[in-house]
Amino acid sequence: MTLDIDRCRADTPGTSSRVHLNNAGASPPPDPVMRAVTDHLSLEARIGGYEAAAEAAPALAAFYDNVARLVGGRPDEIAYVENATRAWDMAFHGIRWQRGDRILTHAAEYGSNYIAFLQVAQRFGVEVVPIASDADGAIDVAALDAAVDGRTRLIALTHVPTNGGLVNPAAAVGAVARRHGVAYLLDACQSVGQMPVDVATIGCDMLSATGRKFLRGPRGTGFLWVRSTMIDRLDPPFLDIRSAEWLSRDRYAPAPGARRFECFEGFVAGKIGLGRAVAYALDLGLPAIAERVQGLAGRLREGLAGLPGVQVRDLGRQRAAIVTFTVVGRPADAVVAGLAGHGINASVSSVGATRLDMEARGLDALVRLSPHYFNTEDEIDRAVSTVGDSLPN
């Protein structure tokens, strides 16, 4: 189950000029994905957009089949959406909120999701309850179990947060949700593409993800999966003539399946490209990808932890390929700029993206390095030595 790293790098022209350690931001797509997108754009230019979409019907159908295989769902449970935030929104704002409903969540929840919690709290009098973390920083599953009551309408969890290597125990949370019969929305934006994510194993009802991160799809693409038995319980916040049918002057019906969460107009080339990116990941194998990225991330953490003044900030027992750290006396953006000067892509994770967790730990900003399988051990070591060389004496 080992990956052919040379082949993966040959497929990724960007690896020849830069060290891409910002795959949690946006990963460079491999050649087959880029070709799928540009081929479709040129087909649109030659024969017209609608005509090109008709010709690309098999590739568009493959998008649903591939994503269904990736997450273990059914093709008619998948909606193509332009990013993870809107995918998540289509499920979340589809819930028919009532005054007094409770949302149970965790400190690692992504900022955009939390803002939506606050919005429904203001609009409908919904209560938002962050569940405490366990000693390792993951959601405390026993505390979650104890917190579920008759008013609990939703458990919303971020699987892997934007600001660190924590992997929340999504399946244990799913077991709690199932036992109490509570709907469970999983933000899998950072986990899909870097580890196996299976909706049956996890036991979630709704799952959102983006295309451009660890899946290596085009920017401006994402998807939503909704369990078939959950679909009719949601009222999509927006409908159009694809997601619904206008039956008579004063009647409409939502489209069957998860299509009701889609929109007529969209980035067709991107959808084909994301389908291709999913096929690429499936061909490599998610278990092999997970093993490789966790090995690289472990090496990176170890190297950074050995530098004076550098503190690795990742939480959790199980760790993903997101490595965050602080450097005494150097702001995160200065560290990222220093790495960029050496051709190393990194990013800053700021308090607003995961406010509850960052405030609880007294953190304002973190440097984030996120390797993918095509990175080499040598690149990891270069990143560590570049950070080391920049330290004040």
Regarding 29 and contact with ligand PLP (CB under 6 A), the answer is no
Work out whether strand 19-20 and strand 222-226 pair parallel, antiparallel, or are unpaired. Answer: unpaired
Q: How far is the CB of 150 from ligand PLP (least distance, A)?
A: 29
Regarding 158 and contact with ligand PLP (CB under 6 A), the answer is yes
Near ligand PLP in 348-367, by CB under 6 A: none
Which x/- pattern over 195-224 shows residues binding ligand PLP (rule: CB under 6 A)?
Answer: ---------------x-----------x--
Q: Which stretch binds ligand PLP (CB under 6 A): 81-89, 147-155, 280-288, 309-317?
A: 81-89
Quick one: which of 36, 103, 183, 189 contacts ligand PLP (CB under 6 A)?
189
Bridge-partner residues for 312, per DSSP? 325
Host H or E run for residue 111: helix 111-124
Tokens for 338, please give them.
């220093």
Regarding 194 and contact with ligand PLP (CB under 6 A), the answer is no
Residues binding ligand PLP: number (CB under 6 A) = 13
Tokens for 172, please give them.
């244990």
Q: How far is the CB of 46 from ligand PLP (least distance, A)?
A: 30
Q: Which is nearer to ligand PLP, 84 or 297 (CB)?
A: 84
Q: Which is nearer to ligand PLP, 130 or 222 (CB)?
A: 222
Q: Please report where in the chains the tokens 């026993």 appear, as a residue.
A: 142
Quick one: which of 152, 168, 190, 324 contacts ligand PLP (CB under 6 A)?
190
Angle of the 286-305 helix axis to the 377-389 helix axis, nearest 10: 30
Q: Which stretch binds ligand PLP (CB under 6 A): 131-139, 140-148, 154-162, 331-339?
A: 154-162
Quick one: which of 15, 133, 162, 375 contacts ligand PLP (CB under 6 A)?
162
- CA quadruple 324, 9, 2, 300: dihedral, nearest 10: -20
Contact 389, 327 (CB under 8 A): no
3-state secondary structure (DSSP) of residue 222: strand
Q: Which stretch binds ligand PLP (CB under 6 A): 2-10, 78-86, 229-237, 244-252?
A: 78-86
Q: Which is nearer to ligand PLP, 213 or 292 (CB)?
A: 213
Quick one: which of 187, 262, 314, 357 contacts ligand PLP (CB under 6 A)?
187
Q: Which is nearer to ligand PLP, 116 or 327 (CB)?
A: 116
Regarding 161 and contact with ligand PLP (CB under 6 A), the answer is yes
Host H or E run for residue 157: strand 152-158
Tell me how many helices (H) and strands (E) the chain has.
15, 15
Regarding 345 and contact with ligand PLP (CB under 6 A), the answer is no
Number of CB atoms found within 10 A of residue 195's CB: 22
Q: How far is the CB of 270 from ligand PLP (least distance, A)?
A: 12
Contact 328, 79 (CB under 8 A): no
- CA quadruple 215, 220, 221, 225: dihedral, nearest 10: 110
Nearest CA among 299, 133, 293 for reference residue 213: 293
Regarding 168 and contact with ligand PLP (CB under 6 A), the answer is no
Regarding 107 and contact with ligand PLP (CB under 6 A), the answer is no
Q: Which is nearer to ligand PLP, 12 or 347 (CB)?
A: 347
CB burial string 305-331: b at 16+ within 10 A, e below = eebeebebbbbbeebbbbbbbbbeebe
3-state secondary structure (DSSP) of residue 88: helix
Number of CB atoms found within 10 A of residue 354's CB: 25
Based on its alpha-carbon atoms, the radius of gyration of the chain, rounded to whole angstroms, reads 21
Binding site for ligand PLP (CB under 6 A): 83-85, 110, 112, 158, 161-162, 187, 189-190, 210, 222
